Structure 1
């Protein structure tokens, strides 16, 4: 009997699966906050050079009391091409002659200026503090911000590769618990980082955990769910990730100080670490890695939690277990079930690229149309991700599924790490980054034709299963599949 039939007997979507998702989905929501945290903690507020006669609290009111702050700013800070105060330079000496220009503006290049040698003054209306204001990551130091964001993505990439391999060797639950604890400790310590170097190191360690928390949590849900419900469960997972983005926006609105925001999204992982002890290891993985007794034990636990009685006779290793080839029914999502995985991916990726390219030529004042195009693009990204996850899980065998998830995150995070740096191309052409973002998914569409269609094919557990699946007809119905019953 294949594992799918065993799962049906112990309950493929019952109280156990509900409890498993209740324990897992909150951590998925919060881990997204960590991957996007620098969007808020590294926000760049308005800033200008510190000026002695304007910002020095020891200057007597009698010295400048007759002049308003705007006037003092005018004689201390040059104007840029948009007639706004320069952010990175100030006059070497106060330009008192500027008080008598009657609305005309001189050539600022003729006046002596200097960098902000005494520091900067920041606008704290939006955020009371960020890492940018803490360590002055502006002007000559502004390149450090995208490097920090890229470093987090590199950590995610490295963690996906290393911990993905360890997950396939030592189990999903063990490595997941380690990563939850690592993220809790590194994230909390980041709050108290004394300098930018320590901050980068701790954020790199946090990034190493992010990929595995997502991948292993998903595995512990999917590998315990019957095939008919996998599409729904994957949709819930991606909804949880989207909710996490909204949660981060709300938290950033409430907590405007970066230390507090960092602490708020890190401390919950201590709770997630403690609650993860009630998670159940994947029985699929235990059986495939030659641990049938432990796999049987976990199956009995699931049966008990799902209220299945008299299941011991059915769960007999010598009568029912034929686990070398496992059968999985097609997913419940209607489009993927009807037309297949590849067409949905190809269509959604083409629409993603098309919506980005069209938006480039839409005027800025047509916000409604721009919003519609952006919504179409985001929706198609979500559809592509969901379809890709289903396709990937059906292409890779259980024994290396975590490694495959790590490689997937490798490619994913390579793009994420390059994204902040790619925006530097705006100095050559303002639309160049967006052209690249739009063209790449369209170019990827024909590449998807190289992937085999997996609709109605069984979920593989070994490399041999993948090779055997190539012999099956892509149009074969579920009733054409058969399972060879073997004994241990």
Structure 2
């Protein structure tokens, strides 16, 4: 806590920290907007094959009042398994006999159909144009839409490797990092800038190089041992933690991103649903913090992840005609995702030693982005069943709810400062269990 003492001198939460948080929030919001845009720019509107009798310029001559648009659609487009006009096939020839409803032609053989050779007609009441309508990414080409999302998410995986280096050009360097890397004079200058921005004018006289060296003595000694990436996997307990945390974030990312970027597939008003989900984020965050602080990190995450899987299955199972019920379930699922992410993030940060936290978060972040990148590929399975991708997302959520139970509880526990703290914690808990077992045996 040595550096915390210096922060208290320059203002623990002043104008400088608020501006830094605001800047980081803006950066995160920009990324989130690009992810959410997929629900609008890549929306798949209702569509059917282009047919001559309906969509030709002379079709109005045919529709002279004798046959309606619905009649012409009936003789041109076959019905799918849900008794709705098929989106990907049309009759080779108009089936006039289908207009007769008396069953006279019940024994007629199945008419020949063909793919949409002349393109598609799109329903444009909600979206005038999307990437799907622009390049006909439907039916046989629908896979390309998921591939494009996959490529976008791969960019999120690659971006942090480049952004981590580029960010040093715009963000002020950490005073703590400067001090522990043998640049105490620059670190002192940064601290004085922070003090000035926070209105702590008198701290300049008391904040000297001697104060910095004395306060940071233990951290300077610890910094002589440079933590490396391999240190994450060198000791058994930390290695176990990193593996479980990577698995936790991987299993969390798949349902979270799957729901977020495929919201338009849930057959509801995507504009309204996005607003409701965003509005639910604030109460969901408070509810998550309440659970985390009162019943602990492990049980809270188990409950929230299990509830996410249940709500996701309930959402896709709800009848499309019950729009109010669908809207409520979608909103609850979106709010649940925010709660799960908050619990994951808090638990991860409390389990990683301070000296190697940045590298550990980088490794765990890679696992998160790999899960996010794989998410669009599961939606390809929708060509076999519309429910199959959502079932897979829910299964990953159910798997993820058990992982926190394998990790230590961090509620009201001190943060580990070093790798040795993690190993000692494991040895201490093991020794306590052994002593408890001995007491139970000898009590008789």
The 3-state SS of whatever aligns with 1:114 is strand
Following the alignment from structure 2 to structure 1, what is the Cα–Cα distance between the partners of residues 351 and 417? 10
In the other structure, the counterpart of 1:319 is 214
With the length of structure 1 as denominator, give the TM-score of the two structures. 0.61
Following the alignment from structure 1 to structure 2, what is the Cα–Cα distance between the partners of residues 280 and 72? 67
Number of paired residues?
Answer: 358
Give the superposition deviation at 1:408: 3.0
8 A Cα contact 1:42 1:145, kept in partner: yes
- Note closer, same or farther for the CA distance 1:351–1:286 as it changes in structure 2 (3 Å cut): farther
Aligned partner (choices 162, 165, 184) of residue 292 of structure 1 = 184
In the other structure, the counterpart of 1:392 is 348
Following the alignment from structure 2 to structure 1, what is the Cα–Cα distance between the partners of residues 207 and 387? 63
In the other structure, the counterpart of 1:27 is 27
The 3-state SS of whatever aligns with 2:203 is coil
- Note closer, same or farther for the CA distance 1:24–1:382 as it changes in structure 2 (3 Å cut): same
Following the alignment from structure 1 to structure 2, what is the Cα–Cα distance between the partners of residues 75 and 122? 19
In the other structure, the counterpart of 2:258 is none
8 A Cα contact 2:146 2:379, kept in partner: no
State the Cα deviation string for residues 142-192 of structure 1 (Å, max 9, x = none): 1111222222222222334x24xx73xx48543xxxxxxxxxxxxxxxxxx
- Note closer, same or farther for the CA distance 1:138–1:425 as it changes in structure 2 (3 Å cut): closer
2:26 aligned with 1:134:
no
Following the alignment from structure 1 to structure 2, what is the Cα–Cα distance between the partners of residues 443 and 292? 47
State the Cα deviation string for residues 78-124 of structure 1 (Å, max 9, x = none): 333444332222233344x3376256576786323322111111111
Runs (5+) with no aligned partner, structure 1: 175-276, 327-332, 475-488
With the length of structure 2 as denominator, give the TM-score of the two structures. 0.66
Alignment of 1:320-335 (within 5 A): 320-322=215-217, 323-324=219-220
The 3-state SS of whatever aligns with 2:347 is helix
Q: Which has the higher contact order (CA 8 A, sep 6+)?
A: 1
State the Cα deviation string for residues 46-76 of structure 1 (Å, max 9, x = none): 112222343233x386566565444443343
Is 27-36 or 435-444 further displaced after alignment?
435-444
Aligned partner (choices 317, 329, 338) of residue 382 of structure 1 = 338
Following the alignment from structure 1 to structure 2, what is the Cα–Cα distance between the partners of residues 32 and 465? 36
Following the alignment from structure 1 to structure 2, what is the Cα–Cα distance between the partners of residues 386 and 94? 57
Aligned partner (choices 346, 350, 358) of residue 302 of structure 2 = 346
Is 309-318 or 298-307 further displaced after alignment?
309-318
8 A Cα contact 1:283 1:299, kept in partner: yes
Give the superposition deviation at 1:397: 4.2
Is 371-380 or 3-12 further displaced after alignment?
371-380
Following the alignment from structure 1 to structure 2, what is the Cα–Cα distance between the partners of residues 364 and 72? 26
* RMSD, aligned CA: 3.9
State the Cα deviation string for residues 461-488 of structure 1 (Å, max 9, x = none): 66566556667889xxxxxxxxxxxxxx
Give the superposition deviation at 1:134: 0.4
Following the alignment from structure 2 to structure 1, what is the Cα–Cα distance between the partners of residues 107 and 146? 34
- Note closer, same or farther for the CA distance 1:287–1:463 as it changes in structure 2 (3 Å cut): farther
Give the superposition deviation at 1:282: 2.9
